[in-house]
């Protein structure tokens, strides 16, 4: 995104406060780059290991753009020593992350100190915080020339359903045309984490607006319903997604390296839309039995694939362990498939013309990236809001299929189920229709050119920038 000198306002500073998990860190770091492109300084706060993780895994932005962001590496409580409660085996949520939720409260004091310091140097301090960091930024309301905006990292659909008490019946009253098979909340999140999330949302109320990593092109109906049920009609809502760079930018390395990842070089040799990309995010590990079934399903499908096979991140964002595949698997699929055990450049893979499908856990980050790049999805939800994203993708937008039914989440997904799903997505009439629909969404988002809808999408960010850089009158305009 090009810099907009009209909004270049050194009197305003933006402070980004992400939640320290990869999907959350990534979204606000993308947004930080967009903000700096308008000539506005950005301070990105978090713990040292998580800031390092976010920078290391970012793709699509130049190193020059990244250097314009001021990173603050604060010390978190030693969360690694806090043992989580005994996990409920029926819930596949990554319980080892649980201490991190409670450790984030210790960021409140250093962030408050930073905000007070910046409030002396700038006429307006704008705090953009993850919805899970609401109680951490409560001191904003005590600073006269500061204002806050909550960033919603999930889909508008998931957010709307949450405001309705996760009651499908209430949602159907508002939107009777929706398909009736919304996945249940059962098994999505442990009770303690659900209570933490509820507490963060209940602490909202003093923010000046809400930012959604989505587009009205994708979720206009749900954004309109959110605005309709809002108790504060004056609250400003901005749909600022997708935050990831466009196709051309995604194919540029952010760290200045000229050497492209080996999987991208391999994709260069494949036919258009012929390769299935398989990745399940940073918080999920498959069992050995499930890994074997997936390997067999991919092999027997006969379709080309790139499979990112790695265990879930440790609590500090990194893992050294490797997953294993059946003996001889990689030799048998050589030339047809590739197994990647390191962190893969997902944006660049999805942007590549040879990529024709994405088997995904359906985290919202991955959904937005896939849609913006025009790639249909094979949904394999694991936990959290992913079952709802799976429903949105497959039933509402109709740009994907479901591999793992949420009601059968405790059952092994067999190789035959996987094989059939791959064939449907990659080589069926239904799959072709899904590809056409997601290509239309990508075009409307500006994935391949600047359509009228894409221009309106860009206008949403411009409007937000215009608002936060409005004329400062006295201490706060």
Where exactly are the structural domains of the chain?
5-246+449-468, 260-444
Neighbouring C-alpha atoms within 13 Å toward the C-beta of 13 = 20
pLDDT at 428: 98
User: Are both 5-246+449-468 and 260-444 of the same fold?
Assistant: yes
pLDDT at 27: 92
313 is an active site residue: no
pLDDT at 220: 95
pLDDT at 3: 37
Backbone angles phi, psi at 225, to 5 degrees: -70, -35
Phi-psi label, residue 297: left if phi above 0, alpha if psi -120 to 50, beta otherwise: alpha
Alpha-carbon distance 442 to 430, whole Å?
Answer: 18
Task: Show the low-confidence residues of the chain (pLDDT under 50).
Answer: 1-8, 247-257, 320, 473-477
Three-state SS letters, 6-73: HHCCCCEEEEEECCCCHHHHHHHHHHHHHHHCCCCCEEEEEEHHHHHHHHHHCCCCCHHHHCCEEEEE
96 is an active site residue: no
Alpha-carbon distance 223 to 215, whole Å?
Answer: 9
- CATH superfamily, domain 5-246+449-468, is Glycogen Phosphorylase B; (3.40.50.2000)
pLDDT at 23: 86
pLDDT at 82: 62
* Active-site entry in 24, 30, 92, 383: 24
* Active-site entry in 50, 92, 130, 361: 130
- CATH superfamily, domain 260-444, is Glycogen Phosphorylase B; (3.40.50.2000)
pLDDT at 76: 80
């Amino acid at each position: 995104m090009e810099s907009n000198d009209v909004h270049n306002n050194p009197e305003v500073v933006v402070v980004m406060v992400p939640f320290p998990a990869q999907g959350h860190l990534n979204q606000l770091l993308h947004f930080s780059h967009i903000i700096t492109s308008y000539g506005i300084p950005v301070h990105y706060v978090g713990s040292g290991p998580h800031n390092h993780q976010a920078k290391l895994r970012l793709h699509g932005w130049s190193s020059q753009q990244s250097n314009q962001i001021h990173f603050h590496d604060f010390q978190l409580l030693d969360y690694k020593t806090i043992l989580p409660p005994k996990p409920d085996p029926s819930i596949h949520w990554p319980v080892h992350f649980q201490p991190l939720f409670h450790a984030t409260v210790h960021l409140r004091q250093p962030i408050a100190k930073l905000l007070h310091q910046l409030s002396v140097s700038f006429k307006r301090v704008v705090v953009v915080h993850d919805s899970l960091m609401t109680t951490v930024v409560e001191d904003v309301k005590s600073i006269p020339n500061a204002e806050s905006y909550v960033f919603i990292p999930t889909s508008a659909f998931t957010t709307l359903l949450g405001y309705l008490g996760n009651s499908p019946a209430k949602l159907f009253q508002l939107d009777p045309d929706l398909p009736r098979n919304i996945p249940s909340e059962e098994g999505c999140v442990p009770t303690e984490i659900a209570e933490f999330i509820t507490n963060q949302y209940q602490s909202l109320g003093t923010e000046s607006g809400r930012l959604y990593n989505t587009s009205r092109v994708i979720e206009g109906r749900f954004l309109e319903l959110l605005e309709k049920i809002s108790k504060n009609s004056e609250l400003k809502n901005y749909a600022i997604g997708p935050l990831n760079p466009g196709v051309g930018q995604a194919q540029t390395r952010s760290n200045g390296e000229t050497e492209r990842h080996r999987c991208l070089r391999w994709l260069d040799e494949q036919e258009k839309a012929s390769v299935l990309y398989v990745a399940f995010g940073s918080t999920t590990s498959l069992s050995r039995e499930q890994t074997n079934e997936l390997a067999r399903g991919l092999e027997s499908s006969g379709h080309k694939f790139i499979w990112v096979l790695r265990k879930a991140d440790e609590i500090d964002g990194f893992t050294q362990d490797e997953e294993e595949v059946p003996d001889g698997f990689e030799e048998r699929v050589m030339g047809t498939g590739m197994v990647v055990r390191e962190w893969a450049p997902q944006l660049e893979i999805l942007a590549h013309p040879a990529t024709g499908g994405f088997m995904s856990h359906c985290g919202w980050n991955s959904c937005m990236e896939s849609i913006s790049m025009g790639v249909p999805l094979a949904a394999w939800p694991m936990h959290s809001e992913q079952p709802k994203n799976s429903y949105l993708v497959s039933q509402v937008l109709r740009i994907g299929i479901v591999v793992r039914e949420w009601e059968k989440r405790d059952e092994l997904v067999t190789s035959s189920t996987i094989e059939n799903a791959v064939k449907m997505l990659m080589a069926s009439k239904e799959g072709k229709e899904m590809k056409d629909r997601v290509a239309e969404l990508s075009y409307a988002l500006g994935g391949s050119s600047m359509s009228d809808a894409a221009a309106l999408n860009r206008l949403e960010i411009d409007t937000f920038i215009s608002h936060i850089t409005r004329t400062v009158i006295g201490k706060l305009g």
